Structure 1
Amino acid sequence: MTEFLWPIRVYYEDTDSGGVVYYANYLKFMERARTEMLRHKGFEQDRLRDEANILFVVRSVEMDLLQPARFNEQLQVKTRIAESTRTSITFEQHIYRHGEEKPVCSGRIRVVCIDAQRWWPVVIPEEILQEIEA
């Protein structure tokens, strides 16, 4: 799959006392980009829960903070599928300042598909895998 791009603006609430993005907020930015990527592909998370009885939950995170982003900067999250299995998807995500080539943050996030009632891993529906890998 090609990269999915999602713009982010750094708000005051995203920063710490030093005026830079608080590290945990990069995870929020990445989460928003993954959600928007699924939405772009036609899959709303609430409909997946209500109609297909599945959820995607984070299983593991690896994140590198490479340089600080600051209040009011425009960032862009680049997201791509790095790997998929029958029950999980690993996303590779990089956050860049608008117009720059070196990322401020990079991460690999593995999500697992689970049954929304039992909270047990289940096979990702084929139509979802086909669409996100296209």
Structure 2
Amino acid sequence: MGDISEQTGFRWPVRVYYEDTDAGGVVYHASYLRFFERARTEFLRSLGFEQDELRTRHGILFAVRSMHIDYVKAARFNELLWVSAEVEQLKSASFMFNQRAVRQDDELVCEARVRIVCLAAETFRPTAIPDFLLQQLNNDL
């Protein structure tokens, strides 16, 4: 998946709070799921898309279909991490994100590949990503 310094995609700052850690002060593995979720949400927001508006106005929502995650190094309480969200692959009803959490010096802590599926809000069944959103995501590739 490469070095974060080579990446030009979206990055979002995440401070590690006490609630994110285990008894030893190390980031609990499930906390990275929240960090990655925040970065994906902020990535969409940076493109002008609010997820609640996509649901109410366009009848779609996004859900994680699958995730492969590698825990590389321990992050600790009170560290500032930069969490990336970069679209790697785009299909008609889903897209794949490459995501990384790094320290301020770009040292890799955790990385993931996340498949997101577009769902019809009423039925929770897969549906095509609307053209206006597909076009914007294509521009980001």
Which of the five TM-score ranges fits, normalised by the shorter chain? over 0.9
Shift of residue 129, structure 1, vs aligned partner:
1.3
Partner residue, 2:55: 49
Q: 1:91-110 residue pairs with structure 2 within 5 A?
A: 91-100=97-106, 102-110=107-115
Partner residue, 1:133: 138
Q: What one-letter code is carried by the residue in structure 2 that aligns with 1:65?
A: Y
Within 2, Cα distance between the matches of 1:47 and 1:97? 32
TM-score of the pair, normalised by structure 1: 0.96
Structure 2, unaligned runs of 5 or more: 1-6
Shift of residue 133, structure 1, vs aligned partner:
2.5
Q: What one-letter code is carried by the residue in structure 2 that aligns with 1:73?
A: E
Q: 1:43-122 residue pairs with structure 2 within 5 A?
A: 43-100=49-106, 102-122=107-127
Shift of residue 2, structure 1, vs aligned partner:
4.3
State the 4+ residue runs in structure 1 displaced beyond 3 angstroms. Answer: none
- The number of equivalent residue pairs is 133
Partner residue, 2:129: 124
Matched-pair contact (CA < 8 Å) for 1:10–1:74 = yes
Structure 1, unaligned runs of 5 or more: none
> Are residues 1:17 and 2:23 paired?
yes
Percent pairwise identity: 50
Give the alignment partner of residue 31 of structure 1, picking from 12, 34, 37. 37
Q: What one-letter code is carried by the residue in structure 1 that aligns with 2:15?
A: R
